[in-house]
Amino acid sequence: MKIVVIGSGTAGSNFALFMRKLDRKAEIIVIGKEPTMQYSPCALPHVISGTIEKPEDVIVFPNEFYERQRIKLMLNTEAKAIDRERKVVITEKGEVPYDKLVLAVGSRAFIPPIKGVENEGVFTLKSLDDVRKIKAYITEKKPKRAVVIGAGLIGLEGAEAFAKLGIEVLVVELMDRLMPTMLDRDMATLVQKEMEKHGVSFRFGVGVSEIIGSPVKAVKIGDEEVEADLVLVATGVRANVDLAKKAGLEVNRGIVVNEHLQTSDPNIYAIGDCAEVVDAATGQRILSQLGTSAVRMAKVAAEHIAGKDVSFRPVFNTAITELFGLEIGTFGMTEERAKKEGVEIVVGKFKGSTKPEYYPGGKPITVKVIFRKSDRKLIGAQIVGGERVWGRIMTLSALAQKGATVEDLVYLETAYAPPISPTIDPITVAAEMALRRFR
Amino acid sequence: MKIVVIGSGTAGSNFALFMRKLDRKAEIIVIGKEPTMQYSPCALPHVISGTIEKPEDVIVFPNEFYERQRIKLMLNTEAKAIDRERKVVITEKGEVPYDKLVLAVGSRAFIPPIKGVENEGVFTLKSLDDVRKIKAYITEKKPKRAVVIGAGLIGLEGAEAFAKLGIEVLVVELMDRLMPTMLDRDMATLVQKEMEKHGVSFRFGVGVSEIIGSPVKAVKIGDEEVEADLVLVATGVRANVDLAKKAGLEVNRGIVVNEHLQTSDPNIYAIGDCAEVVDAATGQRILSQLGTSAVRMAKVAAEHIAGKDVSFRPVFNTAITELFGLEIGTFGMTEERAKKEGVEIVVGKFKGSTKPEYYPGGKPITVKVIFRKSDRKLIGAQIVGGERVWGRIMTLSALAQKGATVEDLVYLETAYAPPISPTIDPITVAAEMALRRFR
């Protein structure tokens, strides 16, 4: 069997490795535009801040690692088209025939049509190449004031990286708060306050209308001109669907796939950022665009090609980040989204401490849990705190994935030790708050 | 309604508070031997080490807090007997009538019949009073060598506290490893090595046969005499069942209760360390003796008395501790216990890092997951690692509580960020290891 993967990112690289484990004989070929296999896009802000020393450090395995596993690499190679009749991928370097084709073509940074967005000193933060350019620019120009356009995860992590380098940062966000798709306003405010303590400023509800100067000197926010010698455009990503569309595959915002991750052509799969998945909270088709989803999709596609009857499960888009020592964890439905989509929910919220009162060093933690009113199931959570947020969002997400109700949380067996957590965990108390509102 | 609680510890105190929340009018009376309400027995080692400054700091709320909530306290008072016919508790200070009675009489340290165990300088670590005595003894005698009898949680945490005070520590354990009811030997060895690095020594498979001198000068281990000027006896606890037995209630190793935590007399409940619960891994009746179980039992008993149809769920005995910065988390079935009890299991184990390779500061972590062969369900886990063990054991325990199978773990959606955790979590890899063995 000849299995061809287009895309050498997280989804494509992991697919190739999973596939090789499941089928020692199959011919596996990866066609990729970039010169290397998988690296972690989430790690890029930490390369800018210098926490990770060299850009190359974030490459998970060297190309030889894949080649030793008899995965054939066609890197620095663009796939131009797919001929589904003849079952070949057409690249600039020739045709590659396939029995099964996997599209792992990822996403690209969305560049809003702002005047001057192509000027020198304006960057996106999506690829290793982006990071090299930003680092070179910072070394050469020693910028003093950065403007970050967009307050999503990448925007905020970029802002943190700049601030750690001593650059003054202003984040501009069209919505009324930071991390608007992941956090409600009350929770976003907690993060904002912490970032402001570390010198990051915010402007909400406005956009950047113009970038002035090349190299950049200022940006225009509404009518106001704000000095800036570095601009990061972090306004989200778009799934790469052109190749699929050209091949006549069904495409929405992402490539449409069934539960086995097959596109409308059963010999062609789509995985990772380019493919649509099912939202566990609503059943709607969404783009997940998380590395963890890409890895799980890679696994399911490889197993399905190997003949296993497996399905990709709906996702809650569980995410975690750390900003200036504050941990932020989220998944699933937010209060605001529920209102928009007309989902009746019951919310519980509790602000507590990460350790028992009597043990020194406890830090504030705020837990918000969101249940669907109709079936009492946990469909979302947001946690902001000084430590141990990750463990709590993992626990809550795992419970949601198993269909846990508010009662499951209220009577949940937790693990307690004085240096680590309180006897009655904040997640339990938050659930109790919600339970009262159910009555 | 007149609700009487015997016992002012974690179970009794929490019961009184939950009951008051549910019933603003009921008369609630707590009869307790000690002079204060709930304090955390798990915090006591941290008082010895000095991390928590004063013994009194571990008292959760002052007596006035309960009294303000119209909870009547009869402290420094021993309940002598229960007259079930007349529905009264007989104390040294008179009779207390009840409509509903809650036994929260706890457990006591088990003292093995070792010659010299009553000598000066030999302690248990169960009560605030024990801690005061140990602290006074350490201040006065400045002991140099401690022997800890028993390598369970309290023994090890006591050993850590002594070591932190510069006292040389030898832990003597009859079984072949430390934490023998919670960890298999392979996992226990990881903890032992770390503790040895910090100067704690171990002797396994032997007991202390004699304690010599008062104040203590040495202990006899087999035929060998080992110098020691401080001895901690940490050989487990026994449920206090005498009062219940005398009252004619059904008693095994603990007081027998139904799913609503009612004893064989439906007007009498038993909660906390003194009551038996159902083991989630086997369905057998066991003693849980964890603070978290006590709190949940208090909640369920209060709700049942208030008229709610609630049941206490089987427990996995999820536990966490931190020893010299190493986190150890466990729950449910161990490999050894499964062998003993004839439960067919499938084990997955993985040693990884707490962070991605490319991010600095990752620490080793070993995850062991145990599935029942017949239904593929997760019934136990053990994790030892340098950080973020708690979040993982919480997640796995929550999954087990919801009946998760090996497939649920393999396809689990986790939360990833470079400073926090790898893209493919060690718990996922451990589950994959197990899945392969299922085939």
B409 pLDDT above the threshold of 80: yes
B209 pLDDT above the threshold of 90: yes
The fold adopted by the segment(s) A2-37+57-108+238-305 is FAD/NAD(P)-binding domain (3.50.50)
What residues in B contact A38, CB-CB < 8 Å? none
User: Any idea what DSSP says for residue A262?
Assistant: B
Overall average pLDDT of the B159-172 stretch: 98
pLDDT score of A373: 97
**Nearest in space to B338 (alpha carbons), one of B279, B394, B288:** B279
What residues in B contact A288, CB-CB < 8 Å? none
**8 A C-beta contact, residue A171 and residue A151:** yes
pLDDT score of B323: 98
Q: How many residues does chain A have?
A: 439
Closest residue, chain B, to A22 (C-alpha): B436
What residues in A contact B309, CB-CB < 8 Å? none
Question: Could you tell me what percent of chain A has a pLDDT over 70?
Answer: 100
Overall average pLDDT of the B235-263 stretch: 98
Bridging pattern class, strands B276-278 and B94-97: unpaired
User: Any idea what DSSP says for residue A9?
Assistant: S
Instruction: Report the SS3 class of residue A164.
Output: helix
The residues, ordered by sequence, that sit 6+ positions from B436 with a Cβ below 8 Å of its Cβ are: none
What residues in B contact A397, CB-CB < 8 Å? 413-415
pLDDT score of B439: 72
Residues 15-44 of B with CB under 8 A from A: 40, 42-43
**8 A C-beta contact, residue B135 and residue B55:** yes
B218 pLDDT above the threshold of 90: yes
Q: Is A274 a catalytic residue?
A: no
Residues 141-160 of A with CB under 8 A from B: none
Which of A40, A59, A395 lies at the smallest CB-CB distance from B418?
A40
A353 pLDDT above the threshold of 80: yes
> Cβ of A416 and B291 within 8 Å?
yes
Instruction: Give the phi and the psi of residue A423 in degrees, each rounded to 5.
Output: -60, -50
The string over B188-205, giving b where at least 16 C-beta atoms fall within 10 Å of a residue's C-beta and e elsewhere, is: bebbbebbeeeebebbbe
For A43, the token pair is: 């790690």
pLDDT score of A222: 87
- On whether any CB of chain A is under 8 Å from the CB of B318, the answer is yes
Which of A42, A419, A420 lies at the smallest CB-CB distance from B417?
A42
What architecture does CATH give domain B122-233? 3-Layer(bba) Sandwich (3.50)
pLDDT score of B222: 87
Task: Give B378 to chain A, closest Cα distance, Å.
Answer: 13
pLDDT score of A287: 96
Each residue's pLDDT tens digit, B343-381: 999 999 999 999 999 999 999 999 999 999 999 999 999
Each residue's pLDDT tens digit, A208-252: 999 999 999 999 998 899 999 999 999 999 999 999 999 999 999
Task: Give B384 to chain A, closest Cα distance, Å.
Answer: 14
Each residue's pLDDT tens digit, A82-109: 999 999 999 999 999 999 999 999 999 9
For B150, the token pair is: 């028993």
B415 pLDDT above the threshold of 90: yes
Overall average pLDDT of the B318-332 stretch: 98
A44 pLDDT above the threshold of 80: yes
Overall average pLDDT of the A20-45 stretch: 96
When pLDDT is cut at 50, 70 and 90, the band that residue A71 belongs to is very high
Set A22, A23, A34, A42: catalytic member: A42
| Other beta carbons less than 10 A from residue B341's beta carbon | 11
Instruction: Report the SS3 class of residue B232.
Output: strand
Which of B322, B398, B423 lies at the smallest CB-CB distance from A295?
B423
> Cβ of B51 and A360 within 8 Å?
yes
Domain B2-107+237-305 maps to which CATH number in 3.40.640.10, 3.50.50.60, 3.40.30.10, 3.40.462.40? 3.50.50.60
Q: What's the rounded Cα separation, in Å, for the pair B173 and B87?
A: 45
Intrachain domains B122-233 and B326-438 with the same fold: no
From residue B407, alpha-carbon distances to A71, A194, A226, A428, B301 in Å are 27, 39, 53, 27, 35
> Cβ of B415 and A360 within 8 Å?
no
The residues, ordered by sequence, that sit 6+ positions from A79 with a Cβ below 8 Å of its Cβ are: A6, A31, A89, A90, A91, A105, A243
Residues 378-407 of A with CB under 8 A from B: 388, 390-395, 397-399, 401-404
Amino acid at A389: V
> Cβ of B43 and A356 within 8 Å?
yes
Task: Give A368 to chain B, closest Cα distance, Å.
Answer: 17
B435 pLDDT above the threshold of 90: yes
pLDDT score of A369: 98
Task: Give B416 to chain A, closest Cα distance, Å.
Answer: 6
Please give the CATH number for the structural domain made up of B326-438: 3.30.390.30
Q: What's the rounded Cα separation, in Å, for the pair B399 and B423?
A: 20
pLDDT score of A430: 98
Q: What's the rounded Cα separation, in Å, for the pair A151 and A129?
A: 22
pLDDT score of A292: 96
A58 pLDDT above the threshold of 90: yes
Each residue's pLDDT tens digit, A387-425: 999 999 999 999 999 999 999 999 999 999 999 999 999
Instruction: Give the phi and the psi of residue A105 in degrees, each rounded to 5.
Output: -85, 0
Each residue's pLDDT tens digit, B59-109: 999 999 999 999 999 999 999 999 999 999 999 999 999 999 999 999 999
A439 pLDDT above the threshold of 80: no
Which of A321, A404, A414 lies at the smallest CB-CB distance from B402?
A404
pLDDT score of B359: 94
Instruction: Report the SS3 class of residue B127.
Output: coil
Average model confidence (pLDDT) for chain A?
Answer: 97
What residues in A contact B435, CB-CB < 8 Å? none
Average model confidence (pLDDT) for chain B?
Answer: 97
**Residue found by looking up tokens 């202990």 in the block:** B219
Set B22, B42, B138, B212: catalytic member: B42
* Helices vs. strands in chain B: H and E counts, helices first: 12, 25
What residues in A contact B403, CB-CB < 8 Å? 402
Domain ranges, ordered by start, for chain A: 2-37+57-108+238-305, 122-233, 319-438
When pLDDT is cut at 50, 70 and 90, the band that residue A146 belongs to is very high
- On whether any CB of chain A is under 8 Å from the CB of B321, the answer is yes
- On whether any CB of chain A is under 8 Å from the CB of B415, the answer is yes
Overall average pLDDT of the A282-296 stretch: 95
Please give the CATH number for the structural domain made up of A319-438: 3.50.50.60
The residues, ordered by sequence, that sit 6+ positions from B28 with a Cβ below 8 Å of its Cβ are: B3, B5, B16, B19, B20, B70, B71, B72
Q: Which residues pair with A72 in a beta bridge?
A: A29
The residues, ordered by sequence, that sit 6+ positions from A69 with a Cβ below 8 Å of its Cβ are: A16, A17, A20
What residues in B contact A391, CB-CB < 8 Å? 388, 390-392, 394-395
Phi-psi region of A156 (alpha: psi -120 to 50; beta: other; left: phi over 0): alpha
For B93, the token pair is: 């200070």
